[in-house]
Amino acid sequence: MSIEVLDLEFQGRPQCVASFLVTTDQRPLLVECGPATCRPQLLAALQRHGLKPQDLQALLVTHIHLDHAGDAGWWAQQGVPVVVHPLGAPHLIDPSKLIASAGRIYGEAMERLWGEILPCPSDRVIIAKLDQPLPLEGVEITAWDSPGHARHHLAYQVGRDLLTGDVAGVKLPAADFLSVPAPPPEFEREVWLTTIDKLAKLPVDRLFLTHFGAHGNVQQHWQELRRRVDEVAEFVHQRQDWDRQKLIEAYAAWQRPEFPDQDSYDRYEQANPLFMSIDGLLRYWKKRPA
């Protein structure tokens, strides 16, 4: 068994969004597919391994956000079964609400960022049993329920590796900085911290982040993420009555010294737009009882 990082070169930026090719004793499988705008890069990466979509045993998505699973419908329509969290499955089968929600956020940039978003045929959707091994051949993969970033989030354990989607944060090769993706509507600090504690107990040696790549020092990573989740939540809590644009600018200025140059900052912004985290963190605090 092996895991290979496939760079989707999202919007022309390398090492920003990944898919993962997992070889097994039987047919290989894919974890994450990205959006339709990354389909040519993903198909080319598979072709370099002598693979076509029909050669895959399954596509596993950590959650249904468009940078992770926007093109899942196309892959399902090619005959590839798609594994997803129970709460995410209805939105892959009928993505109309997902498209409408994303459209309100991205507006005219929708097509440029994500391309077409197709429905998954229902008979191609495999609903994961939470915290249980998946029904796959040639490999044992456990789908761990991992809310906090999103309620419909899964992390996939393959041996001593964990493919984490967004629940382990964003850490790109461009900078030694662990960023917290907190988009609306489902960022929940306490839930995320509980998930960190749960995943930190797993016997794994490497974390594979969709944004981006393999990371060791697993316990140090979880400890840093726990601290960062608290920090970003408190930063916004103390300024939640500010004008939104002023708050975005303050949040950016607070994080800017973590980046060695403008290019590294821009790469993080591509993977984890700051305005979305501000909106998610503000929503989190407004939902809490006074």
- pLDDT on residue 1: 83
pLDDT band at 254 (very low <50, low <70, confident <90, very high): very high
| Ordered DSSP codes for 12-56 | G-SSSSEEEEEE-SSS-EEE----GGGHHHHHHHHHHTT--GGG-
Token readout for 224 is 């840093």
- pLDDT on residue 52: 97
Q: DSSP label at 125?
A: E
pLDDT digits (tens, 9 = 90+) for 257-284: 999 999 999 999 999 999 999 999 999 9
Q: Tell me how crowded residue 282 is: count the other CB atoms within 10 A of its CB.
A: 20
Residue 289 has pLDDT above 80, yes or no: no
pTM comes to 0.96
pLDDT digits (tens, 9 = 90+) for 159-178: 999 999 999 999 999 999 99
Average pLDDT over residues 228-255: 97
pLDDT digits (tens, 9 = 90+) for 110-158: 999 999 999 999 999 999 999 999 999 999 999 999 999 999 999 999 9
Average pLDDT over residues 242-267: 95
Contacts of 111 (CB under 8 A, 6+ apart): none
The helix/strand/coil state of 84 is strand
The CA distance from 221 to 234, in Å, is 20
Cα R_g (the chain), whole angstroms = 18
Taken in order 207, 8, 76, 167, the sign of the CA dihedral is positive
- pLDDT on residue 290: 60
pLDDT band at 105 (very low <50, low <70, confident <90, very high): confident
- CA 111 to centroid of chain Cα atoms: 20
The CA distance from 155 to 142, in Å, is 8
Q: Tell me how crowded residue 174 is: count the other CB atoms within 10 A of its CB.
A: 22
Contact 92, 125 (CB under 8 A): yes
pLDDT digits (tens, 9 = 90+) for 190-231: 999 999 999 999 999 999 999 999 999 999 999 999 999 999
Residue 288 has pLDDT above 90, yes or no: no
- pLDDT on residue 59: 98
The CA distance from 63 to 192, in Å, is 15
- pLDDT on residue 187: 95
Helical residues (DSSP H) of the chain, grouped into ranges: 39-48, 66-69, 72-77, 89-93, 96-106, 110-114, 189-200, 218-237, 244-255, 262-271, 274-287
Q: Which amino acid is at 132?
A: Q
Closest CA to 166 of 43, 79, 87, 62: 62
pLDDT digits (tens, 9 = 90+) for 14-73: 999 999 999 999 999 999 999 999 999 999 999 999 999 999 999 999 999 999 999 999
The CA distance from 195 to 201, in Å, is 10
Contact 183, 101 (CB under 8 A): no
pLDDT band at 7 (very low <50, low <70, confident <90, very high): very high
Cis peptide before 135 (omega within 30 of 0): no
